[in-house]
Amino acid sequence: RIAHLGRDPQGPADLLALAGEDGALAVPGTGEAAGPAADPWWIEEAGGPDGDGILVWCLKLPGAVKKDLQLVRRGGELLLTVGPFHRIVPLEPVLRRCTVSGAALTDGVLRVRFTPDPALWPRTS
């Protein structure tokens, strides 16, 4: 069961009344404590582990259409616009050492290709 006050919470006392015995708010229907959500994006290796080092940053964008999509790389961030919605996404450290080499929106998934920048990667030999 989820506690309900019969009205919107108004202040810390109401929030404490909604919290469990340990003071953590529960995720509705699970009984688990709420916490930060996992990032909605993931990184794939293009061509598998024996590929040319190209990494692909992927993000599900159901319902997005190409004409409403804008993507800008700004330093260690991606600025993503889909229609009226904007989001600034910090890049993982491995992607910060790469250049954007392309992007595609296919089947509701945005895929941005990153190619390692030799000037920013340590030499192996």
> What is the C-alpha separation between 18 and 12, in angstroms, rounded?
10
pLDDT tier at 18, thresholds 50, 70, 90: confident
Q: Maximum CA pair distance of the chain?
A: 67
Give the position of tokens 């993931």: 42
Q: Give tens-digit pLDDT for 77-116.
A: 999 999 999 999 999 999 999 999 999 999 999 999 999 9
Tell me the backbone φ, ψ of residue 116, rounded to 5 degrees: -55, 135
Report which residue type is found at 24.
Answer: A
Q: Give tens-digit pLDDT for 38-88.
A: 778 888 887 666 667 889 999 999 889 999 999 999 999 999 999 999 999
Mean pLDDT for the stretch of residues 19-33: 58
Closest CA to 92 of 77, 81, 110, 79: 77
> 41-116 has which fold?
Immunoglobulin-like (2.60.40)
> What is the C-alpha separation between 80 and 64, in angstroms, rounded?
12
Where in the chain do CATH 2.60.40.790 domains reside? 41-116
